Structures are given as C-alpha cells and as structure tokens.
Amino acid sequence: NAGVTQTPKFRVLKTGQSMTLLCAQDMNHEYMYWYRQDPGMGLRLIHYSVGEGTTAKGEVPDGYNVSRLKKQNFLLGLESAAPSQTSVYFCASSGGRRTGELFFGEGSRLTVL
Amino acid sequence: AQSVTQPDIHITVSEGASLELRCNYSYGATPYLFWYVQSPGQGLQLLLKYFSGDTLVQGIKGFEAEFKRSQSSFNLRKPSVHWSDAAEYFCAVGDGSNYQLIWGAGTKLIIKP
C-alpha cells in the first residue's frame, strides 16, 4: 500500500542551485497537487494537474515548475533555489475534482542556504 | 476575503478528557468543509468532511464535527482523547473542487499523560 511517495525526503541546497522533487502515486488518480507548508500558514497550493500532460498554477507558483509526463508521476522543479523556498513540500492526489479527499505523501523537507 | 481561522495554535489536553478544536471560516459560497490530521513526520489524512445534509458528521478515529452556518464554524470534537491523537489538525474549506481548498494554519494537539 504505497499510496503517494515523495523523493527525496530531505534536501539541503545552496542559493541558486536547482533540484527536482518527485511524486509518485499508485492509485491511478487523475488529479495531483504540490503544496508547501510553512509554520503558521497552513498549506498553500503551488501547482496542480488534472491529468497526464496537463498542469495549472495554484496560489504560489512563482519560482517553481512542474511536469506530468506520466499519469502516476508529478515532478516539482526549482530552477534557482532561494532561501524563501525553504519549506516542507507535500504532494497529494485525488481521484477526481470533487471526491473531497486528498491523499498525501509524507513530505519533503527542503532547506535553502 | 475567503479565509479559515483556527484560533488555537496549541491545545493541551489530558488523556481521557474531551476535546474541541475550533475552526471559523469566511466564505462567499456554500462551503464544503474538511478536517485533516497530520501525525508527526507524516502526510495529512482526512478525518471527516461536510458537504450537505446532517450538520453533525462522524469521522474516523472517533472524531465528529458540527457545522454551524450561523456562526460560520466547523468545530472538531472527540469525547475522550488518546495519546495517539497527539498530532496537528487542519481545517479546510472549499467549493467542492479539490484545488480550491483554503487551509487553516493548524492546531497542534498535545496530550498530557
């Protein structure tokens, strides 16, 4: 029962470096999401995808890019990391637009120095 | 502006005591309401949701929540907490679309033995 798997779980970057977070789900879900979680701010949606080959901007998309080349995978990229991107990143998936339940990965903690 | 407020950042409760976590929202349309729980080092898990109908909804792990439209509230309750309930709890509101959720900042529940 893997569900939603995120890699890596921890990463430390220097300002200006690039990296990619990988999210994989084995539930055949159409919808996938990337959130960031910062203390005292709850979750904020970065980007989401409603199906293979599609992506859309969420609330805080600047500085991030995403790709959904395969249905089961959703990649989040940082081209030039900044200290403001230090956060915990969560991937989630859902079976539809209105299923009312998101299934989350365990999170990826990113520190940008 | 649409928002979700969880007034309590931390709550400490003795094991076996009752629990109520507050959630207030400001939302222009008919709200769809959710409570999620995040155990340490884990992703978020859906506890319960309210879409319509009976304003008292039952969830997993013995939790319930009551929707009070007149007070714009959706408070989470449990009659007797267990040490395993120690976690962070998030309230969210939306229009039913999974990518339109607005999240509260979370309430951290601490259980005293």
| Chain segment B9-66, per-residue pLDDT in tens | 999 999 999 999 999 999 877 888 999 999 988 889 999 999 888 999 999 999 999 9
Q: With beta carbons less than 8 A apart as the criterion, state whether A28 and A53 touch.
A: no
Question: Residue A39's pLDDT is what?
Answer: 86
Q: Using the structure block, give the residue that is written with the tokens 């709200």.
A: B31
Contact B105 A41 (CB under 8 A): yes
pLDDT band with cut points at 50, 70 and 90 for residue A66: very high
Mean pLDDT in chain A?
Answer: 93
Question: Among all residues of chain B, which has the CA nearest to that of A9?
Answer: B41
Q: Find the CB nearest B98 among A31, A41, A105.
A: A31
Q: Enter the tokens of residue A7.
A: 């890699």
pLDDT of residue A48 exceeding 70:
yes
pLDDT band with cut points at 50, 70 and 90 for residue A99: low
Q: Find the CB nearest A100 among B44, B51, B103.
A: B51
Q: How far is CA B30 from CA A60, B27, B33, B100, B103, in A?
A: 25, 8, 10, 13, 16
pLDDT of residue B99 exceeding 70:
no
Question: Residue A95's pLDDT is what?
Answer: 83
Q: With beta carbons less than 8 A apart as the criterion, state whether A58 and A74 touch.
A: no
Contact A102 B9 (CB under 8 A): no
Residue A8, preceding peptide bond in cis (omega within 30° of 0): yes
pLDDT of residue B92 exceeding 70:
yes
Instruction: State mean pLDDT over A51-78.
Output: 96
pLDDT of residue A57 exceeding 90:
yes
Instruction: State mean pLDDT over A9-26.
Output: 97
Instruction: State mean pLDDT over B64-91.
Output: 96
Question: Among all residues of chain B, which has the CA nearest to that of A50?
Answer: B99
Instruction: State mean pLDDT over A65-92.
Output: 96
Q: How many CA atoms lie within 13 A of B75 on its CB side?
A: 11
pLDDT band with cut points at 50, 70 and 90 for residue A40: confident
Residue B94 identity: G
pLDDT band with cut points at 50, 70 and 90 for residue A80: very high
Q: Got the DSSP string for B54-100?
A: -SEEE-GGG-EEEEEGGGTEEEEEESS--GGG-EEEEEEEESS-GGG
pLDDT of residue B96 exceeding 80:
no
Question: Residue A32's pLDDT is what?
Answer: 94
Residue A13 identity: L
- Give B-chain residues touching A42 at CB under 8 angstroms: 4, 90, 103-106
